[in-house]
């Protein structure tokens, strides 16, 4: 092997050694993010299951919100959120382009 090839090989080995701790930290951060994401998904699903078991499907499709009568219909809230988001996108997309 020539002197130049040996130098390239040594530089390659040292660069890999230098990159490995960074790759490990990034892998651990990504793994932690995925675990947190699944924990959040589990929490939302378990709390949502409790709400659906108590109020049924009327919670999503019901249109009356009366706390005194125990009626909780979130459809108007969900629909207005979708409409506001659509309006915001209609303004933001042309401005962003």
pLDDT one-digit tens code per residue, 59-77: 788 888 777 887 778 888 8
pLDDT digits 0-9 by tens, 27-67:
999 999 999 999 999 999 998 888 888 878 877 888 887 77
Same domain membership, residue 50 and residue 9: yes
Q: How confident is the model at residue 14 (pLDDT cuts 50, 70, 90)?
A: low
Same domain membership, residue 66 and residue 31: no
Same domain membership, residue 67 and residue 46: no
Same domain membership, residue 43 and residue 79: no
Residue 70: per-residue pLDDT: 76
Q: How many domains does the chain have?
A: 2
Q: How far is CA 94 from CA 13, 84, 86, in A?
A: 49, 16, 13
Residue 1, pLDDT > 70, answer: no
Full residue range of the structural domain in which residue 39 is found? 1-55
Q: Are 58 and 73 in contact (CB under 8 A)?
A: yes
* pTM for the full predicted model: 0.54
């Amino acid at each position: 092997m020539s002197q130049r090839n040996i130098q390239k090989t040594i530089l390659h080995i040292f660069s890999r050694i230098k990159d490995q701790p960074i790759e490990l930290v990034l892998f651990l951060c990504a793994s932690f993010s995925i675990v947190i994401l699944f924990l959040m998904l589990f929490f939302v699903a378990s709390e949502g299951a409790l709400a659906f078991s108590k109020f049924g499907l009327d919670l999503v499709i019901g249109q009356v919100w009366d706390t005194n009568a125990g009626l909780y219909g979130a459809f108007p809230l969900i629909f207005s959120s979708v409409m506001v988001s659509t309006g915001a996108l209609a303004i933001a997309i042309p401005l962003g382009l």
